[in-house]
C-alpha cells in the first residue's frame, strides 16, 4: 500500500501558486492553549492555511503506547506560525513490495512468465523530518468563511485521514487540496459555496498499533485510532473559530484512512455516552484493513517487537530512544508476510469491541451517520503473491492469513467461496486472479459493502474503473489540482473534476448528486454504484451499474466465522 501510494502521489506534490508566506498581516486564532497564525494565504484559491496546529501533547515518555493527552498551555511562547510540525515515524516498506511492483509491470506488458527479483531486506535511513512529536493538523479555510466566523451558521467541514497501510503517510502526502476547495466553490448547492478542509497526522506502525493483553495492561491498543478520535474531538471544539460548523463534519479517508473510518463509525459498538460519533458524515475510499481479532496474534507481534528492542516490558520500551523503536518497527515490516504490513487496527475490547463487520451486522454503531463509499475495480492485484499458483500454496496462504480458523472453515474458504473453477463464473479465470479476488473482498471491497447493508442501502457508492484501476489510483483524481490538463496519473481531468464535485456535494448536502455532473443515485435495493471510467480514447465514461460486491461471499466474511 504505502510505496504504491507514494509512487503515485509523489507526482502530485506541485507547488501551489499565489501564496503569501509568514506575513504579520495574516490572521491569528486563539485556541485557548495556544495562539496560531495562518502560515500562508493562497490568493488563487482565496484561502488561509493554518498549518501544523498541535492537537495533542507529544506522545513521549509515559504517553508512548498510550492514549493521546491534551496539549499543554503554550500561550507564553507567543504566536505560532506552523513552522514546526514533524511527521510521525515511518516504517520501511515490506520487501515483498519490490516483487509486487515487478509482477504488476510484467502483467502490464503482457508477459506470460515472471521471475521474482532478489529479496532486499536493507532498511533505508529514516527521514530527518520524522519525530514522535507529530500530532499536528492543518486547517485550510476560505477567506470569506473565516471572516464570517461567529456571525452565523458555520461552513461544512471535510476532514482527511490519510492512508499508507497503517505504517506510513502524512497529512500532506497527497499534495494539497486546492482542487477540492475549488470544486466546492464552483457551484452553490447549499448556503455555503465552499468547505473547510482539515488534515491530521496520527501514529503509525508499532508506535500507533502495538497491541495485545500485556500492552493493554500498561497502555492503549489502537493508539492510532485514538489519535484520530482526539483530532476529531478537537475539530468539534475549535472549528467554529475558523468559520466551520461542528455539526456539519464529514470525515474522508482512503485505504488505511478508509479502514480507520470504518472503525471510527463503529467505535465502542455505538454505546459510549450517547452513542454519537464526533462527525455527521463519512466517505470511505477503498476502506482497507486485515482483520486481527486474535489476542494470540496481537501478543505474538508484541513479543517480537520487544525482542528486537532487547527489552522485557512496556516500561523499558518507553525509555528507549526513538531511533531504536523506529529500527525495530522497520525490521518487522520489512520482513512482513507477502501482502501484509504487520500493524493495523485490532479488536481490543474497548474502542474496537469486535470486528467492524460484525458490529455493523449487529447494528452496534451510530446509525445517524450518512455514508458514501468507493472501491476500485482491481483492488487486490498489488497484494497478490504471484507464487501462489496451486491448491497447496493457496491453503498455506489462508492458514497464515487466518490462523485462528478451524480446518473446516479454511476448506470452505478455498473450496466453496473461491473454488478452483476458472471459467469466470466466480470472477476469475486463473489462480492469480482467484487470490486477487479473495484479497480484494476480505481486505477492501466487502468493508464498503457492509455499510450499504447496515444502512438499508441508503448509502451512495462508486466504483473507480479507470485502467488499470488498481488500489490507490483514485487518490490522484481526488486531489487533482491542475488547470484541466491530464497528467501522468490523471488521464482525464473531466473525470477528476466529476469525482471532486461528487465528494464536495456530499460534504455540503449529504448527497453527491448535483448540477454539472452525471446523476448519482442512492445505492438502493438494486445495489447501484456509479462507475467512473474512461473510453479507449480517454473520453469520460460515467455510468450506473450493479455492484458486483453485493454477493454472498461478502455476507459470509461479515460474520467473521474464521475466528
The per-residue pLDDT for range 188-228, each reduced to its tens digit, is 565 667 999 999 999 999 999 999 999 999 999 999 999 99
Percentage of residues in the chain with pLDDT exceeding 90?
84
DSSP 3-state of 408: helix
- State which residues form the domain around 148: 2-451
Cα–Cα dist 502/486, whole Å: 19
313 is catalytic: no
In a domain, 46, yes or no: yes
Catalytic residue among 379, 433, 493, 527: 379
* 285 and 502 Cβ atoms separated by less than 8 Å: no
- For range 148-177, the mean pLDDT: 93
The per-residue pLDDT for range 428-451, each reduced to its tens digit, is 999 999 999 999 999 999 999 999
In a domain, 546, yes or no: no
pTM above 0.85, yes or no: yes
Catalytic residue among 3, 220, 255, 527: 255
Query: Between these two residues, 363 and 21, which has the higher pLDDT value?
Result: 363
- Which residue has 493527552 as its cell numbers? 69
Alpha carbon dihedral 11, 13, 19, 24, in 10-degree steps, equals -170
> Residue 192's pLDDT is what?
64
> Residue 16's pLDDT is what?
38
The per-residue pLDDT for range 40-84, each reduced to its tens digit, is 999 989 999 999 999 999 999 999 999 999 999 999 889 999 999
Helix (H) or strand (E) holding 42: strand 40-42
How many structural domains does the chain have?
Answer: 1
In a domain, 549, yes or no: no
The per-residue pLDDT for range 13-22, each reduced to its tens digit, is 333 334 455 5
Query: Between these two residues, 154 and 274, which has the higher pLDDT value?
Result: 154
Cα–Cα dist 6/463, whole Å: 22
DSSP 3-state of 200: strand
Rg (CA), the chain: 23
In this structure, of 8-12, 166-170, 485-489, the range with the lowest mean pLDDT score is 8-12
The per-residue pLDDT for range 246-300, each reduced to its tens digit, is 999 999 999 999 999 999 999 999 987 667 899 999 999 999 999 988 899 999 9
In a domain, 424, yes or no: yes
The per-residue pLDDT for range 163-176, each reduced to its tens digit, is 999 999 999 988 78
Query: In angstroms, how far is CA 305 from the centroid of its own chain?
Result: 24
In a domain, 53, yes or no: yes
The per-residue pLDDT for range 499-523, each reduced to its tens digit, is 999 999 999 999 999 999 999 999 9
In a domain, 487, yes or no: no
Cα–Cα dist 465/473, whole Å: 9
* C-alpha pair distances (Å), 172 with each of 93, 214, 432: 19, 34, 34
> Residue 482's pLDDT is what?
74
Cα–Cα dist 437/563, whole Å: 21
In a domain, 210, yes or no: yes
Q: CATH number for the domain including 60?
A: 3.40.50.1820
In a domain, 164, yes or no: yes
* 508 and 190 Cβ atoms separated by less than 8 Å: yes
550 is catalytic: no
Amino acid at each position: 500500500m504505502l510505496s504504491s501510494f507514494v509512487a503515485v502521489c509523489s507526482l502530485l506534490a506541485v507547488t501551489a501558486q499565489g501564496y503569501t508566506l509568514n506575513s504579520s498581516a495574516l490572521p491569528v486564532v486563539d485556541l485557548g492553549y495556544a495562539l496560531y497564525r495562518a502560515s500562508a494565504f493562497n490568493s488563487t484559491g482565496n484561502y488561509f492555511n493554518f498549518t501544523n496546529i498541535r492537537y495533542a501533547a507529544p506522545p513521549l515518555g509515559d504517553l508512548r503506547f498510550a492514549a493521546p493527552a491534551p496539549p499543554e498551555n503554550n500561550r507564553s511562547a507567543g504566536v505560532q506560525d506552523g513552522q514546526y510540525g514533524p511527521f510521525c515515524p515511518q516504517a520501511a516498506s515490506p520487501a515483498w513490495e519490490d516483487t509486487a511492483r515487478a509482477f504488476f509491470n510484467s502483467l502490464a506488458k503482457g508477459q506470460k512468465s515472471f521471475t521474482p527479483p532478489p529479496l532486499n531486506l536493507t532498511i533505508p535511513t529514516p527521514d530527518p523530518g520524522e519525530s514522535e512529536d507529530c500530532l499536528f493538523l492543518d486547517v485550510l479555510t476560505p477567506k470569506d468563511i473565516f471572516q464570517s466566523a461567529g456571525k452565523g451558521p458555520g461552513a461544512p467541514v471535510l476532514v482527511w485521514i490519510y492512508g499508507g497501510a497503517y505504517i506510513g503517510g502524512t497529512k500532506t502526502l497527497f499534495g494539497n487540496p486546492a482542487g477540492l476547495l475549488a470544486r466546492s466553490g464552483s457551484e452553490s448547492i447549499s448556503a455555503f459555496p465552499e468547505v473547510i478542509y482539515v488534515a491530521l497526522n496520527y501514529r503509525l506502525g508499532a508506535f500507533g498499533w502495538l497491541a495485545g493483553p500485556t500492552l493493554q495492561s500498561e497502555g492503549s491498543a489502537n493508539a492510532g485510532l485514538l489519535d484520530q478520535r482526539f483530532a476529531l474531538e478537537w475539530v468539534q471544539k475549535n472549528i467554529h473559530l475558523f468559520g466551520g460548523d461542528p455539526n456539519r463534519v464529514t470525515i474522508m479517508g482512503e485505504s488505511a484512512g478508509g479502514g480507520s473510518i470504518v472503525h471510527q463509525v463503529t467505535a465502542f459498538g455505538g454505546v459510549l455516552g450517547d452513542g454519537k460519533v464526533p462527525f455527521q458524515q463519512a466517505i470511505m475510499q477503498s476502506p482497507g484493513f486485515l482483520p486481527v481479532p486474535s489476542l494470540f496474534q496481537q501478543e505474538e507481534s508484541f513479543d517480537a517487537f520487544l525482542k528486537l528492542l532487547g527489552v522485557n516490558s512496556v516500561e523499558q520500551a518507553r525509555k528507549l530512544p526513538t531511533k531504536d523503536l523506529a529500527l525495530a518497527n522497520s525490521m518487522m515490516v520489512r520482513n512482513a508476510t507477502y501482502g501484509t504490513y504487520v500493524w493495523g487496527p485490532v479488536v481490543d475490547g474497548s474502542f474496537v469491541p469486535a470486528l467492524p463487520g460484525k458490529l455493523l451486522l449487529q447494528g452496534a454503531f451510530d446509525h445517524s451517520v450518512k455514508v458514501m463509499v468507493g472501491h476500485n475495480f482491481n483492488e487486490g492485484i498489488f497484494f497478490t503473491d504471484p507464487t501462489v499458483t496451486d491448491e497447496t500454496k493457496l491453503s498455506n496462504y489462508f492458514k497464515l492469513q487466518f490462523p485462528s480458523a478451524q480446518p473446516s472453515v479454511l476448506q470452505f474458504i478455498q473450496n466453496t467461496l473461491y473454488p478452483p473453477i476458472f471459467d469466470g463464473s466466480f470472477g476469475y479465470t486463473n489462480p492469480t486472479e482467484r487470490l486477487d479476488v479473495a484479497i480484494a473482498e476480505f481486505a477492501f471491497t466487502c468493508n464498503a459493502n457492509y455499510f450499504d447493508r447496515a444502512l438499508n442501502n441508503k448509502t451512495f457508492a462508486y466504483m473507480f474503473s479507470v485502467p488499470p484501476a488498481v488500489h490507490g489510483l483514485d487518490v490522484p483524481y481526488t486531489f487533482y489540482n491542475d488547470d484541466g490538463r491530464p497528467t501522468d496519473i490523471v488521464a482525464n481531468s473531466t473525470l477528476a473534476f466529476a469525482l471532486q464535485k461528487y465528494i464536495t456535494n456530499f460534504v455540503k448536502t449529504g448527497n453527491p448528486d448535483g448540477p454539472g455532473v452525471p446523476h448519482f443515485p442512492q445505492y438502493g435495493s438494486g445495489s447501484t454504484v456509479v462507475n467512473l471510467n474512461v473510453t479507449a480514447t480517454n473520453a469520460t465514461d460515467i455510468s450506473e451499474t450493479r455492484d458486483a460486491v453485493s454477493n454472498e461471499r461478502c455476507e459470509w466474511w461479515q460474520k467473521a466465522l474464521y475466528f
